Structure 1
């Protein structure tokens, strides 16, 4: 699996050298991979409908979904217990991968709060002259130190986990772009607006 992961990384250009950012060792205690790889799900765990979102932290369409559509879905369907939403990483570039790793070092409400910040401020940090420094600042807002951000973004097992999940989604589910959505295991084509989600959910209910 490591060879396949490396090929994917090379294909995406995710390990191209970046000025000012060198691979750094993880913290002495390391990243807890079990916690970092746990499902990130919003909503009632017993909800009949599971929508899975495959997203990239640097994808403008993903940012639009998270800032414009998701709040409506949350109010109408997630907070009311009708659906649960699982977020899965599908990084499209190096900084999406690093941001995903940083976010996964947070759990519970802190994770979703970090995603909210990253999406709302996506253009600012992803297009910054120093994306790494910008991510460090955002990580600090969530209570991470710079050393913890560095450890998370360079933790090899966590990076492997994220890339292998991306590879599996692409190979087994035909996910090729972001955001992409599955509903109870079925791919939702052409569903992006709140109205289109509303229609698909109503049909499933």
Structure 2
């Protein structure tokens, strides 16, 4: 199922008008011949505990000076992204991020109608729980997609005329994401405050807009390694690219 917002702001309309199908990624591979040395994390930490928000609107895990910088543009309701999250997250962290050789940044890319609200809730708690919540959203993705497949027609009709914030809230209420984040430390009041934050909405829309305009991102997942788009969507393909780059 491919659903879209009835965009009601110029910025959101610009970001959403060009969105393409989940599963369409790039077309080039990064490669380098030399092996990269591991870098120790600060005392008392491993690199997977080092997380920060980036100027590009994503969240990055790992050594800030890692020679290999892997960026994923992903949708939390994209099945291909979910598969990578379930099969690739742990080996990526354990083998590559903990070594200090690779950092991993996730940038929310709005593809399907519920994505705005789901992304807002995924970012609402801040830096430290960002990746655990992202991983758990992918682990439980199928139950949300089942609800998405059975959305009644009158629900989508009710969305007409709503603001982006109201649409985002309606979707996450319907699919059960508010209860999901409440079980992971957010209060309902905090969740609803984030959902009504127009700056969050504009910032998320801008990430997608810039990705399409400047990075030629047309779908999810799109992986970029050191500035080069990868023709890869699964963990074995990503691992092959990392090894070829010296990880």
Q: For the superposition of Structure 1 and Structure 2, which TM-score range results when normalised by the shorter chain?
A: 0.7 to 0.9
Partner of 1:112: 131
Post-superposition CA distance 1:102-135 (Å, at most 9, x none) = 1111223311111112111112124336742511
Cα shift at 1:36: 9.6
Note if contact 1:66-1:116 (Cα within 8 Å) is conserved in structure 2.
Answer: yes
Matched, 1:85 2:127: no
TM-score by length of 1: 0.79
Partners of 1:36 and 1:105 in 2: CA distance: 15
Separation in 1, partners of 2:10, 2:134:
30
Question: Which segments of 5 or more consecutive residues in structure 1 lack a partner in the other structure?
Answer: 13-34
Give the length in aligned residue pairs: 181
* Residues 3-152 of structure 1 mapped to structure 2, 5 A cutoff: 3-9=10-16, 39-128=58-147, 131-132=172-173, 134-152=176-194
SS at match of 1:94: coil
CA RMSD of superposed structures (Å): 2.2
Q: Which has the larger radius of gyration?
A: 2
Deviations 1:115-162 (A, max 9, x none): 112111112124336742511111112211112111212311101100
8 Å CA contact 1:36, 1:158 repeated in 2: no
Higher RCO by CA contacts (8 Å cutoff, separation 6 or greater): 2
TM-score, normalised via structure 2 length: 0.67
Residue 143 of structure 1 aligns to a residue whose secondary structure is: coil
**Which ranges of structure 2 fall in alignment gaps of 5 or more residues?**
1-8, 20-52, 152-170
4+ long deviations beyond 6 Å: none
